[in-house]
Structure 1
């Protein structure tokens, strides 16, 4: 029988603590913040570092317009309106700062003052665009960790909870455990403490970024040139895209900067809508798998390169938020350790891609009238998975035919854009960005996270559930997720006549990766 005195308690460990969170304008951090406000009232203060924007100059205004106004807080507004107002007015400190800047752009005095007001840092800030320009991805996903570590040291070596992604495994295959992963290129040496020496790599990347900026004659071409550089370097070192490559670099920086200190890395797999809290199916924006669902719903594509027998790893956002909270609890209780936790479903409650497609497709055909924003008409042909060689051959044949049609239309003075060409471009762009993730040769393990869960008290194991065995895939993806996507993520087609623009080929690359 477990010793009750040895059980960890979220409320006890976070009582009186001042929690700094970055990235609260993002999807996951909103879920985390709402959960902490609602279920951990013992927290003394929330310190939110939010950069100003063109629309909103300061953190407080941006919080009010982009975070507090979000439907994520609807439950609190309905059930505990006065409590929510009290928290916002009395327990939230707004810091207008930029985590990519030295001292967050605050200056030394204000940075020192900030350090004196926090007890734990949770870093959710990230660029989650798969194909971000390399300079931007490197700054936010990797180099910003230096600035966060400086704050941690100034604050007295307080714990850092760093949100990463399971997909830092890159091209590695097999069972992916909760440990640091090597580059498959073998080009990056490993330190005796386990992390990888990335400073020479960073210097080389910065040199190449500077060269691209120096040699690019047309400013309009620079973002694409830096995006291509990011993909090129990611492939060279063993990753599919700039996002996962720079997140891996960020992990190594965190481990180096936090040697001997308290560091917990939380790696989610593909984050999708909430399972139950604060509302079933809550989601913000179109995420990884949703881009394909939306393309199918709008008749933009009906086939994709994928392995239907491969395990696809999805995890609801509320389970990820709970995993972060448990990691915070343990870090405060048992400091001066480095821990890695993976919030994932593949090893505990796996679902293969073919079954997932069947669940979604069946639900779409059955209930499409219930999802008026998702579907503009009844779905037609079935969605098919094909091998990559078959996909490439089919796309080549389609391109040849479409080029002929385009030439004929041009000769006749007709517009070049038409439905089949748009469908081709959508399918092509989706495949470029996402096909790596639909043919996985790896399984993510979460043994350490499950062990952490068992160290929690019974009530906390229920309130802060992390076990993916709770997921009934048919109910979650066939009902909860589709309803949430329709309700929360998509605009009302009756108000937005251009809602199909969400699937314009040039927009596909900006679909949120949301792998963390």
Structure 2
């Protein structure tokens, strides 16, 4: 049962003496969450951060130090604690070298037992942020085997661990709003039932899907060299993922496996208190602790950077479509409030699902973002290597695939073919022009391939549960606003122009 009323003081008090296990803490949301809790409640007991040590050289502890504690995001906390900062972090943060894709989270039995006795809250954010990280990662999230491991098996292993935690008060699972697939109209905050597919008459059997991957991989064993085998396997796994996702009615491997993860959670939750959070496209920190702070390129940011680097002459998008975006700090504020609101809810009939989204309460279209980008660059013109000002050019938008392909053909494909021939005759005289044009062509095609589905997504996310949670929040004192997650309070124009675009260019445009 949800609490009647909460204010900042209630929320802060709740985390006193609590031990929290967080997966995905090196990702964007994970870091914001760790920072926020430790800043508002220094008496939290422990933050266990489960991270993969990349190899023996870079241990889990080093990763947490470099990728979490050492980031600019922790500046406010660093100031607050002064010389005692590292000491404070050492007392509060435990880096666990583990991996949710393994049984027992990849931990030794004694560690696991001790952990199970101590944990009050589990927050699973693993893999939700890797989706748009550097491209190899991005590749990983399109691989069926990797996605099933993290987004599905990871949930299974965490559920098994949760059953061993005698004092568990909350298991929060961060999914994505796009588990709904490509739908129009109002999308409800309701759990996905096990086996439920978007294609009528098809039933998802998770074990069968895992078996399918095993068989596909065994069938690839015969490739000659090791590096060849890796490439073949990667390609095969990306193709299989897309094929299975489309077979069941989803647009890509990532959202499909996230949907399966939710099904598994529904099946294995037992009587533990569970909450599912579904954020839409997450953007930079709006207010707290560091406005504009950003990590990993997300959908709309690739677009901003592409424009800044002049790699984006055109794009396939309908500017009147609502893009559902939400600042990262609002997502974590909503997560924190939901943890407190549903703490120790034993076996609710249905798992509470929250759409952490903006399309219903405060919709913003792609045209607002585009105008903000132009405004930013008119006010802050870029200067080229030669010291000359780079003119701010408009992007050509195409709202149909046919128009877009025709334009790409005439502007890129034909000229590239001609340049290729001329270069053969003139021993590569125009190879620089060719390479430049080819780079732009590939960039646009890649962007459209990856982000096209978002640009035409016409669904609107209902957020009644979110609204109820907002209504329980007493906004009486200035303090209470430190957990603000009301998207109505965002002026999108101002946020994009003053906070988000400068932030993206500062933190991602290196």
Match among 297, 303, 313 for residue 308 of structure 2: 297
Match among 281, 295, 319 for residue 270 of structure 1: 281
Match among 389, 396, 421 for residue 384 of structure 1: 396
Task: Give the match for residue 80 of structure 2.
Answer: 79
Equivalents in 2 of 1:296, 1:271: separation in Å? 20
Deviation of 1:236 after TM superposition, in Å, equals 1.9
Task: Give the match for residue 40 of structure 1.
Answer: 41
- Do structure 1's residue 199 and structure 2's residue 206 form an aligned pair? yes
Q: Any unmatched runs of 5+ in structure 2?
A: 133-137
Change (3 A) 1:296 1:16: same
Equivalents in 1 of 2:31, 2:77: separation in Å? 13
Deviation of 1:55 after TM superposition, in Å, equals 7.0
Equivalents in 2 of 1:259, 1:4: separation in Å? 22
Change (3 A) 1:307 1:257: same
**Structure 1 contact 34–73 (Cα < 8 Å) conserved:** yes
SS of the residue 2:118 aligns to: coil
Tell which deviates more after alignment, 140-149 or 255-264: 255-264
- Do structure 1's residue 240 and structure 2's residue 251 form an aligned pair? yes
> Could you list the per-position Cα deviations for residues 3-23 of structure 1 after superposition, in whole angstroms to 9, with x for gaps in the alignment?
997547212332221111111
Deviation of 1:208 after TM superposition, in Å, equals 5.0
Tell which deviates more after alignment, 355-364 or 376-385: 376-385
Deviation of 1:285 after TM superposition, in Å, equals 2.9
Task: Give the match for residue 60 of structure 1.
Answer: 61
Task: Give the match for residue 395 of structure 1.
Answer: 408
Equivalents in 2 of 1:164, 1:13: separation in Å? 24
For residues 327-342 of structure 1, what are the structure 2 equivalents within 5 Å? Answer: 327-337=338-348, 338-342=351-355
- Do structure 1's residue 128 and structure 2's residue 131 form an aligned pair? yes
Match among 454, 469, 477 for residue 471 of structure 2: 454
SS of the residue 2:322 aligns to: coil
Change (3 A) 1:440 1:102: same
Equivalents in 2 of 1:287, 1:361: separation in Å? 19
For residues 130-145 of structure 1, what are the structure 2 equivalents within 5 Å? Answer: 131=139, 132-145=142-155
Equivalents in 1 of 2:389, 2:188: separation in Å? 44
- Do structure 1's residue 486 and structure 2's residue 486 form an aligned pair? no
Change (3 A) 1:379 1:145: farther
- Do structure 1's residue 344 and structure 2's residue 354 form an aligned pair? no
Change (3 A) 1:390 1:96: same
Equivalents in 2 of 1:376, 1:229: separation in Å? 48
Equivalents in 2 of 1:379, 1:406: separation in Å? 29
Tell which deviates more after alignment, 265-274 or 457-466: 457-466
Change (3 A) 1:78 1:154: same
Segments of 4+ in structure 1 off by > 4 A? 3-6
Equivalents in 2 of 1:445, 1:208: separation in Å? 40
**Structure 1 contact 56–62 (Cα < 8 Å) conserved:** no
**Structure 1 contact 15–43 (Cα < 8 Å) conserved:** yes
Please report the TM-score for the alignment, with normalisation by the length of structure 2: 0.88
Change (3 A) 1:102 1:286: same
**Structure 1 contact 137–242 (Cα < 8 Å) conserved:** yes
Task: Give the match for residue 432 of structure 1.
Answer: 449
SS of the residue 1:334 aligns to: coil
- Do structure 1's residue 29 and structure 2's residue 30 form an aligned pair? yes
Change (3 A) 1:209 1:328: farther
Equivalents in 2 of 1:145, 1:5: separation in Å? 30
Equivalents in 2 of 1:473, 1:5: separation in Å? 31
Match among 425, 439, 443 for residue 411 of structure 1: 425
Change (3 A) 1:377 1:434: farther
> Could you list the per-position Cα deviations for residues 251-276 of structure 1 after superposition, in whole angstroms to 9, with x for gaps in the alignment?
11111111432111111100010111
Equivalents in 1 of 2:181, 2:19: separation in Å? 35
SS of the residue 2:22 aligns to: strand
> Could you list the per-position Cα deviations for residues 186-216 of structure 1 after superposition, in whole angstroms to 9, with x for gaps in the alignment?
3544xxxxxxx54245345424542553365
Match among 488, 496, 509 for residue 477 of structure 1: 496
Change (3 A) 1:293 1:148: same
Equivalents in 1 of 2:306, 2:503: separation in Å? 17
> How many residues were matched structurally?
480
Tell which deviates more after alignment, 382-391 or 268-277: 382-391
Tell which deviates more after alignment, 382-391 or 313-322: 382-391
For residues 83-232 of structure 1, what are the structure 2 equivalents within 5 Å? Answer: 84-126=85-127, 127-129=130-132, 131=139, 132-156=142-166, 158=168, 159-181=170-192, 182-189=196-203, 198-207=205-214, 209-211=216-218, 213-214=220-221, 216=223, 218-219=228-229, 220-232=231-243
Deviation of 1:408 after TM superposition, in Å, equals 2.0
**Structure 1 contact 323–343 (Cα < 8 Å) conserved:** yes
Task: Give the match for residue 487 of structure 2.
Answer: 468
Equivalents in 2 of 1:377, 1:171: separation in Å? 42
Change (3 A) 1:284 1:263: same
Match among 437, 460, 467 for residue 443 of structure 1: 460
Task: Give the match for residue 135 of structure 2.
Answer: none
Equivalents in 1 of 2:357, 2:486: separation in Å? 9
SS of the residue 1:304 aligns to: strand
Task: Give the match for residue 261 of structure 1.
Answer: 272
Deviation of 1:466 after TM superposition, in Å, equals 0.6
Task: Give the match for residue 12 of structure 1.
Answer: 13
Change (3 A) 1:372 1:69: farther
Change (3 A) 1:13 1:209: farther
